[in-house]
Structure 1
Amino acid sequence: MMSTEVRVPTLGESVTEATVATWFKKPGDAVAVDEMLCELETDKVTVEVPSPAAGTLSEIVAQEGETVGVDALLAQIAEGDAPAKTAPQEPKDARAEESIDQDRPKGETPQEEVQTDAGSADVRPRDPQDAPSAKKRMAEAGLSSDEVKGTGKDGRVMKEDVLKALSEPKKAEAPKQAPRAPVAAEDADREERVKMTRLRQTIARRLKEAQNTAAMLTTYNEVDMSAVMGLRSEYKDLFEKKHKVKLGFMSFFTKACCHALKEVPDVNAEIDGTDVVYKNYVHMGIAVGTPTGLVVPVVKNADTMSFAEIEKTIAELGVKARDGKLSMADMQGGTFTISNGGVYGSLMSSPILNPPQSGILGMHKIQERPMVVNGEIVIRPMMYLALSYDHRIVDGKGAVTFLVRVKEALEDPRRLLMDL
């Protein structure tokens, strides 16, 4: 009987590992071609792994909660109708399950619980029996199994692995987080400790890396939204009737940014070692908040799109983000990002760069304020704009010029038509 390997698929650009979140099948189950076997959780999206052949799932190699690399072996499928003999599964503790159900907050689904647990650092694969010689050598050297990468069967640590680990130069340890301050006993009972999901851990790591790597600086301006709001109010019904999509503010901001990026290409570039890579296209990232964390789907070639095409693409990506259906292709290749904190009521903030991009524009709440226009005080709908940029590649003059061009295009949208 032939056996087919199930391996980790290509996870996408810059993604090298994933966590096995959920197995939909157990050893001994019959599977059909393209039937979903398991779900992998990466730092960007969730990836489903289909069965490459019909037969019986004979062995699961990577257990739930285990971290796996690209092309790593996940399972074995015995082709044909005969079920494979498997070791009996350990019975689940019914009382534990009942306790989990009682403790689960209202509205939380079992699937959400599985995804949270999958990102837990406490979830470990089965512990293989290391070679006795390796155990002795690790004890002498003061090493633990976690510090040595095993190359034996099922990750078993061999003596050669220990010698290799000892010969490699030790990496500088990252500064440890200060221990948590003691909590009063009466407060401890009212606290709840929840493991960070893999997505949340990656968001935290990448945002901190952006602060540590880029020479990040933010410049601010404000824009009078009267013209955009008037144009939108005048044409929104006709626009929706013709294009079957609502006319929002994001298409105006996307168009304005694309227009400004042509004049200040440094904001649309990235640093690669000692080189600067200039992009002669705009893949616009649109930051979207979801229940599981912040994601940034990308509107590809936004500089060549019409208002209707931009609105339709943003609407489609928004639905995917809300339903957790974004693919790796939807998340890759962004050259610049727009973050709209105004939908949550933010009046002003400094957005953090989305590496390796060199610029991100923060939109904020539209608020009526008294403004002086032609010597008279008038009430205008105003919005603060914030551009965070990498000062290693973008000079202050370029950053301010970019933001002024965005402001000009929004205060007089006709400039977009005239390419001014």
Structure 2
Amino acid sequence: MILEIKVPSPGESITEVEISSWLFKNGDFVKKNQVIAEIDSDKATLEICAEESGMLIIKAKKGDILKVGEILCLIDTSFSKEKRNFIAPSTIKRLNQYKIDKKKIISKNKKYDAIKKIPSMGTKNLINRSFDITKLSKLRRKLSERLVSVKNETAMLTTFNEVDMSNIFFLRKKYKNVFKEKHGVKLGLMSFFVKSCIIALKKYPDINSMIDGENKINFKYYDISIAVSGPKGLMVPVIRNADTLSFRGIENTIKNLSNSIKNSTISIDDLTGGTFTITNGGIFGSMLSTPIINPPQSAILGMHNIVERPIVKLGKLEIRPIMYLALSYDHRIIDGKEAVGFLLSIKESIENPIKNLIGSEENLKNSFELK
């Protein structure tokens, strides 16, 4: 029996995908539920599993663009490991139908050098001038298109501020071990910033909005997108209803979403929507940047690395851990006054977290759910 494996639908708005990798070769025996290929859509990478055990017959190669519903590969379920060089008549008939040479199925694939060596112009005396040419993945191409469209279609500006991280460091140092022991997740910086952003978004609602033609949509909920670097590039999963989550809830959600991206099991739903984005270039050592808005949102907060810097406190010079913050925003619906006020609100929350994020020292253990 020949089983057709077709391209599944990753989501309502997605009509085609790109084959990013094959994990088996033509003629390999695959087992039911084994991952045999990965496909890229505009938003995520999805795994394709064998629906039955048998011989794999690849119909489309890596890099091909297929529409949803098109045949990706075939599986001959009559084929077993013991019959590796035997092809059933029904299989031969189907191979002929798809114009696939049966000799290629039972023979080993030839390997070719992927590096293209092209003579360098004007560099006769130089050696080792080779380079690789690789096709951008569909995910990367779509990301490029979105970023360029943001630059061309929005009036994007960026405003900056700095924040003293001393009190956050104090709280994390005091509670991180017991928090990790009780909840199985680290008490990270991101939960403090998510909560600070929600407070600021409530004060400045236009930052939690988007333009739709001639209309402005102000969201009454807070779905916070978090930029996460994965094997296939930058992805932006969403923390739904972040305003209803505790510190533990936010950190657990981020951990689960990050693991899904690393394991290529993230779903389209996890990446869809979002009303405001936070990105942390500081984990890679970035001192300062102008983050690009994640469309159709209207603003994005950029966090950066934390460096000990000399600052003046009450007339005295002190060394404090300082982070630079950047807010990029669409000036068509967000005024500079709102953008500056938004960053000041975050600064106030981070520099005085007990008062602004937790409420009181007596409420600390309740906020971290340690009782």
Does the CA-based 8 Å contact 2:46-2:265 persist in structure 1?
Answer: no
State the secondary structure of the residue aligned to 1:316.
Answer: helix
- What secondary structure is seen at the aligned counterpart in 2 of 1:285? strand
* Alpha carbons 2:30, 2:56 under 8 Å: kept: no
- Please say if residues 31 and 57 of structure 1, whose CA atoms lie closer than 8 Å, have aligned partners that are also in contact: yes
Q: Evaluate the alpha carbon distance shift between residue 356 and residue 88 of structure 1 in structure 2; reply closer, same or farther with a 3 A threshold.
A: same
Aligned sequence identity (%) = 44
- Which of residues 102, 109, 113 in structure 2 aligns to 1:88? 102
After superposition, the Cα gap between the structure-2 partners of 1:242 and 1:382, relative to the gap in structure 1 and judged at 3 Å, is same
The equivalent of 2:10 in structure 1 is 11
Q: 357, 360, 381: which is aligned to 2:300? A: 360
Q: Deviations over 1:207-254 (max 9, x none)?
A: 212111121110111111111111111221222222221111111011
1:340 aligns with 2:280: yes
Q: Secondary structure at the match of 1:84?
A: helix
Structure 2 CA distance for partners of 1:77 and 1:291, relative to 1, 3 Å:
closer
Determine the C-alpha separation between the residues in 2 that align with 1:13 and 1:400.
38
Corresponding residue of 2:243: 303
Work out which of the residue numbers 120, 142, 146 in structure 2 matches 1:206.
146
2:356: which partner in 1? 415
Q: Contact 2:227 / 2:280 at 8 angstroms: preserved in 1?
A: yes
**How far did 1:33 drift?**
6.0
8 Å CA contact retained: 2:6, 2:70: yes
**What is the deviation of 1:368?**
1.8
Greater Cα offset, 54-63 or 207-216: 54-63
Answer whether contact 2:3 2:77 (CA < 8 A) is retained.
yes
Query: What is the RMSD computed on CA atoms of the aligned residues?
Result: 3.1
* Secondary structure in 1 matching 2:91: coil
5+ long unaligned stretches in structure 2:
80-87, 96-100, 361-371
C-alpha offsets along residues 349-368 of structure 1, whole Å, 9 cap, x if unaligned? 11111111111111111122
Structure 1 counterpart of 2:44: 45
- Partner letter of residue 91 of structure 2? A
Matching of residues 123-138 of structure 1 within 5 Å: none
Aligned 1:103-142 pairs, distance under 5 A: none
The amino acid across from 2:317 in the alignment is I
Change (3 A) 1:206 1:182: farther
Q: Report what 2:68 is aligned to.
A: 70
Kindly tell me: are residues 391 and 50 of structure 1, through their superposed partners in 2, closer, same or farther at Cα, counting changes over 3 Å?
A: same
Call closer, same or farther: CA 1:418–1:193 in 2, change over 3 Å: same
- What is the CA–CA distance in structure 1 between the aligned matches of 2:317 and 2:24, rounded to whole Å? 69
Q: Distance in 2 between matches of 1:188 and 1:202?
A: 36
Aligned mates of 1:291, 1:56 — CA distance in 2: 30
- Which residue of structure 2 lines up, in the alignment, with residue 195 of structure 1? 134
Correspondence for 2:178 among 233, 238, 241: 238
Residues 293 and 299 of structure 2 are in contact (CA less than 8 Å); yes or no, is this contact kept in structure 1?
A: yes
| Greater relative contact order structure (CA < 8 Å, 6+ sep) | 2
Aligned-partner Cα distance in 1 for 2:323–2:134: 37
Alpha-carbon distance in structure 1 between the residues aligned to 2:274 and 2:124: 48
Aligned pairs for 1:322-401 within 5 A: 322-401=262-341
Alpha-carbon deviations, 1:240-282, whole Å to 9, x = none? 2222211111110111111111222222222222222222222
Secondary structure of 1:372's counterpart equals strand
Instruction: Give a deviation string over 1:92-111, Cα, whole Å, max 9, x none.
Output: 664x44x56xx79xxxxxxx
8 Å CA contact 1:28–1:84 kept in 2: the answer is: no
Q: Report the CA distance between 1:335 and its aligned residue.
A: 1.9
Q: Aligned pair in 2 of structure 1 residues 418, 208: CA closer, same or farther (>3 Å)?
A: same
Judging changes above 3 Å, is the alpha-carbon distance between structure 1 residues 217 and 314 closer, same or farther for their aligned structure 2 residues? same
CA pair 69-234 structure 1, distance change in 2 beyond 3 A: same
CA contact under 8 A between 1:350 and 1:386: conserved in structure 2?
yes
Alpha-carbon shift at residue 18 of structure 1 (Å):
1.1
Please say which of residues 273-282 and 306-315 is displaced more in the overlay: 273-282
- State the TM-score, normalized to the length of structure 2: 0.79
Stretches of structure 1 lacking an aligned partner (at least 5 in a row): 105-180
Paired residues of 1:57 and 1:75 also in contact (CA < 8 A)? no
Change (3 A) 1:262 1:14: farther
- In 2, Cα distance between the equivalents of 1:58 and 1:236? 50
Q: How many residues align?
A: 337
3-state SS of 1:362 partner:
strand
The equivalent of 2:199 in structure 1 is 259
Name the CA shift for 1:253/1:41 in 2 (closer, same or farther; >3 Å): same
